[in-house]
A and B are shown apart, each in its own frame.
Chain A
Amino acid sequence: MEHNIDNKPVMIEMNQVNKWYDDYHALDNINLKVRKGERMVICGPSGSGKSTLIRTINRLEEHQYGQIIVEGVEMTPDVKKIHEIRKEVGMVFQQFNLFPHLTVLNNITLSPVWERNIPKKEAEQTALELLERVGILEQANKYPGQLSGGQQQRVAIARALAMKPKIMLFDEPTSALDPEMIKEVLDVMRELAIGGMTMMVVTHEMVFAREVADTMVFMDAGKIVEKSTPKEFFSNPKEERTRQFLNQILNN
């Protein structure tokens, strides 16, 4: 899925971003640019700061030094700005985080109706179209607890898409799933990539990464160790640390 993004506008820019949890240095001078339509896959050992990195982009985590610019808006403690950025950035979690007390349909329409002021009928129409796209139209009126993990994650993707975001963040979207459900979720993400969505994906699914990614990022101990195209990354990694990691993960 090669495509040229070099001349596309920058959607996310991180300059010297640093983040500490108390004394623990979780992000260490992170510099990144994500261009419109770019598919970036982030990998690295557990605890290396992958989740922390993508969670600073919609301010689920606060950074303490450096600059994060999303769609030209710099992330500051200003609540209004955070709010605006969050509406443009969709996020999919490892644990789905659907709202268990709402039906699938209401999970999806809640934010468009109340934050984007879209009429309920229209929002429901869009929600049904999205459910069809992720292949679970028939589950619209069920509650999340009645669905399988793979179905729940697809609802979560539909819910994020319903806000018509310009950027999608995925934090290990398939790690909590049984093997037979991983494919159905990856298929949806692949469709999304083909549709031109700007995506940052934390995942250990290297087959998916090799096929879909424009850019591979390898993190360790809060730093970006290596950043390259998937071709280079998988066939000719420059850093010793990357080689170790790839050996480990590809041999399993």
Chain B
Amino acid sequence: MKTIVEPYHGDRPPILKSGALNWMKNNLFSPWYNAVLTVVTAALVYILVTPLWRWAVTDACFGTTPDVCKGSHGACWAFIQDMWPVFMVGTYPSDQRWRVALAAGMVLLLIIATLFRALRKKRLLHLLWILSPAVIFILVRGGETFHLQYVPSTQWGGLMLTVFLSLVSMIFAFPLSVLLALGRQSDMPVIRSVSVAYIELVRGVPLISILFMASVVLPLFFPPEMEFSKIMRAMVGITLFFAAYLAENIRGGLQGLARGQYEAADALGLGYWKKMGFIILPQALRIVLPPMVNNFIGILKDTSLVGIIGLIDLLQVAFAATSNPKWLGKIEEAYLFVALFYWIMCYSLSKFSRILEERYQL
């Protein structure tokens, strides 16, 4: 059967039937097995979500004191409403918490400013970013010179500590891993074997034991008057650990590049560091961006192991807060709240990487 198709005269493609109903009909209910899948999935979601919803919303109690939760079967959000600042900063003195809030606010402003394309190229913004770690450090730590009460790092904790640990480890692990990956490919036997030995050694040991080592062994290498805070030891441990993993990812990218890229750079007379810096690394890092972000997410979540050397990070705060006599045993609420923050951070990282991937497509 042949139907007559009229020639098309418009300059734009024709508008197809759209609208929510049409979309649902096409995507959810046809053909018949899609309809079955849709119904079954909806039923499953309903069965699983209803009790959670009842617990977390319908039967939940809000407020700031434990009394409101007496005799209720629902979630006791009063606990979170009362204790959330502790989740954010741990045992940081409560009258000084504004300093952390101020630091967080500044970073948030910087991030928002960076989202604007027009501001992104501004020198001032770059300068502010470069200065921000120092400013945050001074604000949070304080001290006589800055007319701020000194808050020793033993009192840093909660989400703040988790963010510190992960960011600092990411920032230091990245360049170290680039050097290790280059070292592993080097023509110089000594550099190559040192890199290989380091990577293979560290990858063969669990992070927990590295953290123990860092907290026990590290001080032995330095004179006793040099004080190493626990946080610093944890940062060193996590950095050294993840540098090995990142290095292997980056090596994959270096190997993924066509040999012609190396040869063209060589033939143009580019020296080693220029060849790597301008030609090889920019391309290799783009290739390995997704696995690298995967690694960063790994760092973020694995900082939760620092509880083992006595640091009170976001996860440990959950334990600490629920052993408070006032809020004894509110562990479900605490876990859920903590998980939410881990999820937000990991999801933002993955979203950010998706944006970078799109921007820097080869």
Q: Do A and B bind each other?
A: yes
Q: How far is the CB of A75 from chain B (nearest CB, A)?
A: 14
Contact stretch, chosen from A29-37, A85-93, A127-135, A228-236: A85-93
Contact across chains for B274 and A114 when beta carbons are under 8 A apart? yes
Could you say which residues of chain B place their CB within 8 Å of the CB of A58?
A: 266-267
Q: How far is the CB of B285 from chain A (nearest CB, A)?
A: 10
Could you say which residues of chain B place their CB within 8 Å of the CB of A97?
A: 258, 260-261, 263-264
Contact stretch, chosen from A8-16, A66-74, A98-106: A98-106
Decide yes or no: A87 and B269 within 8 Å by CB, A114-B274, A114-B278 being known contacts.
yes
B127 at the interface (CB under 8 A from A): no
Q: How far is the CB of B242 from chain A (nearest CB, A)?
A: 26
Which of B271-315 touch A at CB < 8 Å?
A: 271, 274, 278-279, 282-283, 286
Which residue of chain B has its CB nearest to the CB of A98? B264
Chain B interface, number of residues (Cβ within 8 angstroms): 19
Decide yes or no: A110 and B263 within 8 Å by CB, A100-B283, A101-B286 being known contacts.
no
Q: How far is the CB of A160 from chain B (nearest CB, A)?
A: 8
In the complex, A17→B286 CA distance in Å?
A: 40
B240-272 interface bits toward A, Cβ cutoff 8 Å, 1 = contact, 0 = none: 000000000000000000101101111111110
In the complex, A99→B283 CA distance in Å?
A: 9
Contact across chains for A114 and B270 when beta carbons are under 8 A apart? yes
Say whether chain B's binding surface is mostly helix, strand, loop, or mixed. helix
Q: How far is the CB of B189 from chain A (nearest CB, A)?
A: 15
A146-170 interface bits toward B, Cβ cutoff 8 Å, 1 = contact, 0 = none: 0000000000000110010000000
Contact across chains for B279 and A99 when beta carbons are under 8 A apart? yes
Most A CB within 10 A of own CB, among B269, B282, B286: B269
Q: How far is the CB of A173 from chain B (nearest CB, A)?
A: 13
16 examples of A-B residue contacts, CB within 8 angstroms: A86-B268, A87-B269, A90-B267, A93-B263, A93-B264, A95-B260, A97-B260, A97-B264, A100-B283, A101-B362, A110-B268, A111-B270, A115-B271, A145-B362, A159-B268, A163-B269
Interface residues of B (CB under 8 A from A): 258, 260-261, 263-271, 274, 278-279, 282-283, 286, 362
Q: What are the 5 A-B residue pairs with the smallest beta carbon separation, nearest first? A: A97-B264, A97-B260, A87-B269, A86-B269, A91-B267
Beyond the given pairs A83-B269, A93-B263, A114-B278, 19 more chain A to chain B contacts, judged by CB atoms under 8 angstroms and listed by A's residue number, are: A58-B266, A60-B263, A60-B266, A86-B267, A93-B260, A93-B264, A93-B267, A95-B258, A95-B260, A97-B260, A97-B261, A99-B279, A100-B362, A101-B362, A110-B268, A110-B270, A111-B270, A115-B269, A115-B270
